Amino acid sequence: MTYLAKPKLHHPRLSTNALGFTRRDYEGAVSTLCAGCGHDSISGAIIQACFELSLPPHRVAKLSGIGCSSKTPTYFLGASHGFNSVHGRMPSVLTGASLANRELVYLGVSGDGDSASIGLGQFAHCLRRGVNMVYIVENNGVYGLTKGQFSATADKGSRSKKGVGNQDSPIDLIGMAILLGATFVARSFSGDKAQLVPLIKAAIEHRGAALIDCISPCVAFNNHPDSTKSYDYVRAHNEAVNFLDVIERREEITLEQEPGTVELVRQHDGSYLKLRKLAPDYDPTDKIAAMTYLKEREAAGEIVTGLLYLDPRSEDLHDRLGTVRAPLNALGEKELCPGSAALETINASLR
């Protein structure tokens, strides 16, 4: 089947951003996912975040692996280049793309099967390398396209739609990401756009590896009462530790909130994140404390969401490699080819 393009009629009063684009300019093709799928809400949040940041859509590259989640890049940012790669290997393709041109925004979209099972190795290594990207895992605990098998993030003891119990320990993507050296780690819920949109914006602004583990219920296979990834379960157990406002660099920073409940975090590139604290003692820049808190709350049955870890002194892969400022894909013979005279010197040294 070929998808119909959405009608390009704009409501005359649609608001525009600094580039003169409306929200519609950030949309993609019509989604073919199930009605009510959490993934569509995440696509909506990505559209909203890019619109609010006034990102030129063509300066974003969106990459994915295989699965329901990985189909979604078709459904947002239609003016961006996209790459639906192979199962579990989006991180390496994104890493390569980022090496070729450091000036674009790289948005990696993956699922729990894609990232926590077949792609766990690449998930781990792209985070520890500090690839400058936003890595969103659309996490529903289940394989959708192959009709309802457990994924590796399914909680132990949770039951499938057919009543089978999951006996294996779940992969904790958040805990792994923090340990592996991701410098921006957040968890959110597809049903909470107010929380998710600022997190995506902040992740885009962050330089370094930013992971958002976004619980995104599967209405077809994992939204029943025995599931721990259903809308009802996540709403009942969601405990946000903070709420984020992204402060654009040019804005004047004012703190009007009650002291002690708001914190400004200055990032390496000079930008600020304004954190409204919901859990007063939670310090997302303290790795050990964050891990302890997350494990304690997890044991208590809570799903902790918000910006869970941030390294304000982050650097990215290009910083570490020491590459030139210009994109590598823009260099030509003049910059790259040493020429025949240098070759003669080499020849002479090999006699």
Partner 1 sequence: MPMRLEATNDFVVKFANVNGSGSASANRLFARSILRMGVPIASRNIFPSNIQGLPTWYEIRVTEAGHLGRRGGVDLMIAMNPQTFARDLAEIEPGGYLFYDSTRPMPPSKFRSDVNVVGMPLTEIVNARYTDARQRQLFKNIVYVGALAELLGIDLAEVETLIGEQFRGKEKLIPANLEALHMGRDHAAAHLKDAVGLKVRRADAVGNRIFLEGNDAAALGAVYGGATVCAWYPITPSTSMAEAFTKHCHRFRIDPDTGQKRFAIVQAEDELASIGMVIGAAWNGARAFTATSGPGISLMQEFIGLAYFAEVPAVIFDVQRGGPSTGMPTRTQQSDILSAAYASHGDTKHVLLFPEDPRECFAFGALAFDLADRLQTPVFVMLDLDIGMNEWLCEPLAWDDGRRYDRGKVLTAEELEAGRDFGRYLDVDGDGIPYRTYPGTHPSRGAFFTRGTSRDAYARYTEEGAAYVDNMQRLLRKFETAKSLVPKPVREDAANPTRHGVIYFGSTAPAMREALAELKARGIELDTLRVRAFPFAEEVIDFILEHDQVFVVEQNRDGQLKTLLVNEGAIDPARLISVLHYDGAPITARFLIDEIARRWALLTGATNREAAE
Q: Which stretch binds partner 1 (CB under 8 A): 39-47, 52-60, 212-220, 286-294?
A: 52-60
CA count, 13 A, side-chain hemisphere, 310? 26
According to the binding rule CB under 8 A, does residue 115 interact with partner 1? no
According to the binding rule CB under 8 A, does residue 237 interact with partner 1? no
Residue choice 38, 44, 73, 217 for contact with partner 1 (CB under 8 A): 73
Is 346 strand, coil or helix? helix
Residue choice 97, 185, 203, 246 for contact with partner 1 (CB under 8 A): 97
According to the binding rule CB under 8 A, does residue 38 interact with partner 1? no
According to the binding rule CB under 8 A, does residue 22 interact with partner 1? no
According to the binding rule CB under 8 A, does residue 278 interact with partner 1? no
Tokens representing 77? 């940012």
Contact 165, 158 (CB under 8 A): yes
Residue choice 38, 82, 130, 306 for contact with partner 1 (CB under 8 A): 82
> Among 176, 143, 157, 134, which Cα is nearest to 45's?
134
Q: Which is nearer to partner 1, 59 or 268 (CB)?
A: 59
Residue choice 16, 169, 292, 347 for contact with partner 1 (CB under 8 A): 347
Contact 315, 130 (CB under 8 A): yes
According to the binding rule CB under 8 A, does residue 54 interact with partner 1? no
Contact 212, 203 (CB under 8 A): yes
Q: Which is nearer to partner 1, 81 or 224 (CB)?
A: 81
Nearest approach in angstroms of CB 260 to partner 1 is 43
Write out the binding residues for partner 1, residues 164-223 only, by CB under 8 A. Answer: none
Nearest approach in angstroms of CB 275 to partner 1 is 32
According to the binding rule CB under 8 A, does residue 8 interact with partner 1? no
List all residues 6 or more positions away from 186 whose beta carbon is below 8 Å from its beta carbon.
199, 202, 203, 210, 211, 212, 213, 305, 306, 307, 308
Residue choice 34, 86, 179, 265 for contact with partner 1 (CB under 8 A): 86
Nearest approach in angstroms of CB 225 to partner 1 is 35
Q: Kindly state the DSSP code that residue 191 receives in the 8-state scheme.
A: T
Bridge partners, residue 263, by sequence: 275
List all residues 6 or more positions away from 51 whose beta carbon is below 8 Å from its beta carbon.
17, 21, 22, 23, 25, 26
Q: Classify strands 238-240 and 209-215 as parallel, antiparallel or unpaired.
A: unpaired
Measured between its terminal Cα atoms, the distance across the chain in Å is 63
| Cα–Cα distance measured from residue 41 to residue 257, given in angstroms and rounded to the nearest whole number | 30
Instruction: Give the helix/strand (H/E) hosting 69.
Output: helix 68-71
According to the binding rule CB under 8 A, does residue 83 interact with partner 1? yes
Nearest approach in angstroms of CB 295 to partner 1 is 27
Residue choice 55, 61, 171, 294 for contact with partner 1 (CB under 8 A): 61
Amino acid at 333: E
According to the binding rule CB under 8 A, does residue 275 interact with partner 1? no
Residue choice 69, 72, 85, 242 for contact with partner 1 (CB under 8 A): 85
Q: Which is nearer to partner 1, 102 or 277 (CB)?
A: 102
> Taken in order 298, 286, 106, 204, is the CA torsion positive or negative?
positive
Nearest approach in angstroms of CB 75 to partner 1 is 11
Our measurement of the distance from residue 76's CA atom to the centroid of its chain's CA atoms, rounded to an integer in Å, reads 14
Q: Which residues bind partner 1 (CB under 8 A)?
A: 1-3, 29, 56-59, 61, 63, 73-74, 78-86, 89, 91-101, 103-104, 121-122, 124-125, 129, 317-318, 321-325, 328-329, 331-333, 335-340, 342-344, 346-347, 350-351
